[in-house]
Amino acid sequence: MRPAPSWIAGDAATGPGQRHPRGARAAVVRPAATRHGLACGRSRAQTSSRATTSNCGSFRSQAGAPVPSINWNKYESKTYDELLAAPGIPRDAAVELVRHLAGLAADEVEDLKTTAEVAIQVMGITFTVYSDAGMIDRAWPFDIIPRIIPADEWRRTEAGLAQRVRALNMFIDDLYHDQRIVRDGVFPAELLHESVNFRPQCVGISPPNAVWAHICGSDLVRNGDGTIYVLEDNLRIPSGVSYMLENRNVSKRVLPDLFATGRILPVDDYPAQLYDMLASMSPRKGVEPSIVVMTPGVFNSAYFEHAFLAQQMGVELVEGSDLIVGSDDCVYMRTIEGLSQVDVIYRRVDDMFIDPEAFHPESVLGVRGLMRAWRAGTVALCNAPGAGVADDKVVYAFVPKLIKYYLDEDALIPNVPSYLCMNPKERDYVLANLDKLVVKPANESGGYGMLVGPHATAEKRAEFAELIKANPRNYMAQPTLSLSTTPTLCDGNVEPRHVDLRPFILSSEQDVYVTTGGLTRVALVKGSLVVNSSQGGGSKDTWIVASEDA
């Protein structure tokens, strides 16, 4: 049995790479089912998105004080900036932050940066990068200047994300049952037949309330004109929410005075919301559910998150070898007291490895017979196997049509215009304009396998042209957006860097919950559009800021 590691902010005794002795149990408080923070769409904040007329770049220290290290008058972005509308002119929601930072001397800014770095080390916040040299654990790359979004704008984004995930769940359920959308000609049959994430083993299974993707992480970007787009949907095993929570913990240490206003909306209810959602899935009603987080193990790149979420929810962190399916098709956990029935598995193991009986026969990461138990309804799985059929960058292009088909609504958040290389005319356009487009494979993640045409060499573009011709179904392309920027500390200076945002959406029988903000990822390399931490990106805390009169 592998108990959840126990560590808290400021406690360096144990971290994600250190375990308690076998049989020990972390002293954690399970989030009560009634403990909720701000619910989706219920914020009363009314924040204007127009810029204030205050010129924060001109703030001056009192006589004799050190010269501020940040002169906002000299800060200029060539695209939409999340904090400043123009040099020295902060957006309304960012006035307090910009004013605060403008009043700091260079050594004070450096002290804040050091405070953040020490906090990250003490809390053991790491991520793993795979390379030719093996696995490398790195400290989480965090920038102390947060990204700010006004609360009224966020309410509209919340509604669009909730709409999107409802349609995606209806789409997944349809594909594993009647396939009406295919018969009606809205979704091409050949796309389904060639999908690498469609699981025939899931056909006919009906998860409770037809929810397949209980957790979704949708990536959002803002174009140069201020328009917000959905860039992609992550429905298999979306990751990153632990870093959203830890970014807030670090941010509170770095900028505590700004949190005292109460205008920065909280994010710390996510573990409670996640626990409540998982508990609602339990097939055994009337008893306290037994919930586990199933991890591939300590060598997985997201192990920090697996351990963190298990600890935060007060549930067991297990590997496949800790579980067994009995002759009654129930799942049991091996404990020192004997076998204990498991009701809900939050699995962080890919479909093909969760059950060697149903999928990859040589997998040692899963549980033999797990699919039998799930089909029998004795255990709930989150996310459901097969949900990844909608986690396909080619399927992504059809999401506005899915929303119209299933909900009879127009998409509240638009897609980035996309070209599908499986269509001859669109393929010809892509091949003729590789120097202007971003080309993505259908099922890669983490920023791997894609081409950013304007930044690629002629040789790389020629290589991608051959890949597209050989397997057009596997590629789609999008115009190179002028992604929004936000001020970022770079070698002692504040410079604009491109950002995206990954909010997390929970779907249960009661409602759809959207995190207040999400994980802001930032491209630390000047001019780069690649924000993934595995590709040299960093992260920021995301502040949803209510207006002063809210």
Residue 37, pLDDT > 60, answer no
Residue 33, pLDDT > 50, answer no
Asked if omega into 383 is within 30° of 0 (cis), the reply is: yes
**Domain-located, residue 297:** no
Mean per-residue pLDDT, 74-92: 96
Among 441, 458, 477, the domain boundary falls at 477
Residue 413, pLDDT > 60, answer yes
β partners of residue 233: 218
**Domain-located, residue 313:** no
Do residues 264 and 242 both lie within one domain?
Answer: yes
Sign of the torsion angle spanned by Cα atoms 90, 93, 97, 99: positive
**pLDDT band at 447, cuts 50/70/90?**
low
**Domain-located, residue 211:** yes
Do residues 79 and 156 both lie within one domain?
Answer: yes
Sign of the torsion angle spanned by Cα atoms 530, 249, 517, 260: negative
Least trusted range by pLDDT, from 115-129, 368-382, 495-509: 115-129
More confident residue, 125 or 63: 125
How many structural domains is the chain composed of?
A: 2
Do residues 215 and 158 both lie within one domain?
Answer: yes
Helices assigned H by DSSP within 203-329:
241-254, 256-259, 270-280, 303-313
Q: What percentage of residues in the chain have a pLDDT greater than 90?
A: 75
Do residues 278 and 424 both lie within one domain?
Answer: no
**Of 247, 198, 274, the residue nearest 513 (C-alpha):** 274
Do residues 423 and 525 both lie within one domain?
Answer: no
**Run of H or E including 192:** helix 189-193
pLDDT at residue 7, rounded to an integer: 28
Residue 438, pLDDT > 90, answer yes
**pLDDT band at 527, cuts 50/70/90?**
confident
Mean per-residue pLDDT, 450-462: 93
**pLDDT band at 5, cuts 50/70/90?**
very low
pLDDT at residue 78, rounded to an integer: 95
Sign of the torsion angle spanned by Cα atoms 35, 512, 384, 15: negative
Q: Helix or strand or coil: residue 515?
A: coil
**pLDDT band at 457, cuts 50/70/90?**
very high
Do residues 235 and 164 both lie within one domain?
Answer: yes
**Domain-located, residue 143:** yes
**Domain-located, residue 19:** no
Do residues 234 and 263 both lie within one domain?
Answer: yes
What would the pLDDT profile of 151-188 be if each residue is shown by its tens digit?
999 999 999 999 999 999 999 999 999 999 999 999 99
DSSP string spanning 191-216?
HHHT-TT--GGGTT---GGG---SEE
Residue 446, pLDDT > 80, answer no
In whole angstroms, give the CA distance from residue 95 to residue 379. Answer: 50
Q: What percentage of residues in the chain have a pLDDT greater than 70?
A: 84
**pLDDT band at 408, cuts 50/70/90?**
very high
Sign of the torsion angle spanned by Cα atoms 178, 182, 185, 186: positive
Q: Which domain holds residue 424?
A: 417-477
Do residues 63 and 146 both lie within one domain?
Answer: yes
Please provide the average confidence, as pLDDT, over all residues in the chain.
Answer: 86
pLDDT at residue 61, rounded to an integer: 34
Mean per-residue pLDDT, 82-93: 96
Residue 34, pLDDT > 90, answer no
The residues, any chain, with a CB within 8 Å of residue 186's CB and separated by 6 or more, are 398, 401, 402, 405
Mean per-residue pLDDT, 53-59: 36
Do residues 277 and 425 both lie within one domain?
Answer: no
**Domain-located, residue 146:** yes
Do residues 471 and 487 both lie within one domain?
Answer: no
pLDDT at residue 133, rounded to an integer: 57
Residue carrying the six token digits 């491209």 = 523
Q: What is the pTM of this model?
A: 0.85
First-to-last alpha carbon distance for the chain, in angstroms, is 48
Among 428, 458, 477, the domain boundary falls at 477
**Domain-located, residue 370:** no
**pLDDT band at 126, cuts 50/70/90?**
confident
What would the pLDDT profile of 244-283 be if each residue is shown by its tens digit?
999 999 999 999 999 998 999 999 999 999 999 999 999 9
**Domain-located, residue 329:** no
Residue 74, pLDDT > 70, answer yes
Do residues 446 and 536 both lie within one domain?
Answer: no
Among 460, 477, 494, the domain boundary falls at 477
pLDDT at residue 134, rounded to an integer: 60
